[in-house]
């Protein structure tokens, strides 16, 4: 990684503004945090700053308030959960750059941690407004970006503020760039990619970019139906992107030209409707009933994919192989998750649904890295530069 990190600067006694990604799921009624993975992921950075006597000022977004104050999107529950995790108070301002924020920051002692209100309450945040960036920068002496999940956005708190303060990567950001960077630039061969999810159109750039990096490419999820139809397979009433059929053929041809082994489903779990309680059965991919739809890969496909993964030293997985939020259609993804957890390989998991799946299985700790960035990890794997990373100081 060619960017400076928290390890490269002295923060003792300094005010440090830290952009974190605490966009966690909350229960609509109780405001209880349903999954604190993103909060826990930032703990190494927060604890390192506390240990070095910094005054840590956290800023994050939560939900999509679109530049307005939305009571259900306030940061107070997140601050309370963080306080539990670090065993110390985390006062939370009731605004972003106003009187409450100024008082909260002024009261910080060395080693203390405070949180600003939801930065997306400010209409200038998503516009990368210079005035907002300057106001945030005025709170601190140093800026640390530890929010890889928002690094692909040129917002005031991710890229703008870096123009006014010495800006470095946090420990989570460093880890994200390190592991994903290895996939993009120098993976240990042989390399496999498992790409799932609903649509080719959302991942075509990743597929095309990875063809020059991998030895094996395994396809699942709704996008597999488009690949299958492109090869003349009858996929019944399955989700398909007819405008992407030529794209699918081009990926298959590109894989053949590059000597990449491509994997597509040989059997599938099909359902009579797109619903959690649908009737379902497992059939050969050549025997999908006309009015039924593919909602998961079948056991033969899982066995085939496991065989193709044997001997791989680097694996990246982004996107489930079926409608994994419904138990009846999650088994293909679950089995691949278990197989990857048992491999002697550097396994990197990305994408919100995939991360949720491995976390629910209790397997997140079994992989080399589980990325906190959904769209950011995709854009990184596409080879794009991320504004939040570009804005940091070079080594």
pLDDT tens string 165-224: 999 999 999 999 999 888 888 899 999 999 998 888 888 888 988 998 999 999 999 999
Strand partners, 370: 349
Residues 64 and 140 in one domain: yes
Q: Which of 53, 67, 111, 352 does the annotation list as catalytic? A: 352
Q: Which of 4, 199, 273, 313 does the annotation list as catalytic? A: 199
Domain endpoint, select from 143, 173, 203: 173
- Between 372 and 235, where is the model more confident? 235
Number of domains in the chain: 2
pLDDT tier for residue 242 given thresholds of 50, 70 and 90: very high
Residues 128 and 69 in one domain: yes
- Give every CB contact of residue 305 below 8 A, 6+ residues apart in sequence: 194, 218, 263, 297, 336, 339
295 token code pair: 């909602």
Residues 282 and 243 in one domain: yes
Residues 144 and 249 in one domain: no
- Give the pLDDT mean for 96-111: 98
Q: CATH number for the domain including 75?
A: 3.40.50.1260
What are 277-336's pLDDT values in tens digits?
999 999 999 999 999 999 999 999 999 999 999 999 999 999 999 999 999 999 999 999
In a domain, 395, yes or no: no
Residues 37 and 66 in one domain: yes
Specify whether the backbone of 63 is left (phi greater than 0), alpha (psi in -120 to 50) or beta. left
In a domain, 353, yes or no: yes
Contact 236, 292 (CB under 8 A): yes
Structural domain of residue 290, as residue ranges? 187-381
In a domain, 251, yes or no: yes
What is the pLDDT at residue 82? 98
In a domain, 390, yes or no: no
Residues 268 and 155 in one domain: no
Q: Which of 38, 153, 175, 213 does the annotation list as catalytic? A: 38
352 is annotated as an active-site residue: yes
Q: Which of 63, 98, 254, 375 does the annotation list as catalytic? A: 375
Residues 224 and 317 in one domain: yes
38 is annotated as an active-site residue: yes
Res. 162: pLDDT tops 90: yes
Alpha-carbon Rg for the chain in angstroms: 22
> Cα separation of 254 and 43, whole Å?
42
145 token code pair: 């970006």
> Cα separation of 114 and 50, whole Å?
11
User: Nearest to residue 219, comparing CAs of 286, 265, 284?
Assistant: 265
Number of Cβ within a 10 Å radius of residue 16: 26
Q: What pTM value is reported for the model? A: 0.88
What is the pLDDT at residue 297? 98
What are 247-267's pLDDT values in tens digits?
999 999 999 999 999 999 999
Residues 77 and 213 in one domain: no
């Amino acid at each position: 990684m060619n960017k400076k990190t928290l390890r490269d600067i002295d923060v003792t006694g300094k005010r440090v503004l830290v952009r974190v990604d605490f966009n966690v799921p909350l229960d609509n009624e109780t405001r209880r945090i349903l999954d604190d993975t993103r909060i826990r992921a930032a703990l190494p950075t927060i604890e390192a700053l506390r240990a070095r006597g910094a005054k840590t000022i956290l800023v994050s977004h939560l939900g999509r308030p679109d530049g307005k104050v939305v009571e259900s999107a306030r940061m107070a529950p997140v601050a309370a959960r963080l306080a539990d995790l670090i065993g110390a108070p985390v006062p939370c301002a009731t605004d972003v750059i106003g009187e409450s924020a100024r008082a909260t920051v002024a009261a910080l002692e060395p080693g203390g941690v405070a949180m600003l209100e939801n930065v997306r309450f400010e209409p200038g945040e998503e516009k990368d407004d210079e005035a907002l960036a300057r106001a945030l920068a005025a709170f601190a002496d140093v800026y640390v970006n530890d929010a890889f999940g928002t690094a692909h956005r040129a917002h005031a708190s991710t890229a703008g503020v870096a123009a006014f303060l010495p800006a470095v990567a946090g420990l989570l950001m460093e880890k994200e760039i390190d592991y994903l960077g290895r996939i993009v630039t120098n993976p240990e061969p042989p390399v496999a990619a498992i790409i799932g999810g609903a649509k080719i159109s959302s991942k075509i750039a990743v597929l095309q970019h990875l063809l020059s990096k991998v030895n094996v490419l395994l396809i699942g999820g709704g996008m597999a139906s488009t690949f299958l139809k492109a090869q003349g397979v009858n996929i019944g009433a399955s989700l398909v992107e007819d405008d992407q059929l030529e794209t699918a053929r081009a990926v298959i041809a590109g894989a053949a030209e590059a000597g990449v082994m491509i994997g597509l489903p040989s059997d599938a779990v099909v359902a009579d409707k797109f619903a959690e309680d649908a009737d379902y059965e497992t059939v050969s991919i050549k025997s999908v009933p006309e009015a039924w739809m593919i909602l998961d890969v079948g056991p033969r496909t899982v066995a085939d994919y496991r065989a193709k993964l044997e001997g791989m030293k680097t694996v990246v997985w982004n996107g489930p192989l079926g409608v994994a939020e419904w138990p009846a259609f999650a088994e293909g993804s679950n089995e691949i998750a278990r197989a990857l957890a048992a491999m002697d390989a550097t396994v990197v998991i990305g994408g919100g649904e995939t991360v949720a799946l491995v976390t629910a299985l209790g397997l997140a700790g079994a992989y080399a890295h589980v990325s906190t960035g959904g769209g950011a990890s995709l854009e990184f794997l596409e080879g794009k530069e991320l504004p939040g990373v570009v804005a940091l100081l070079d080594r």
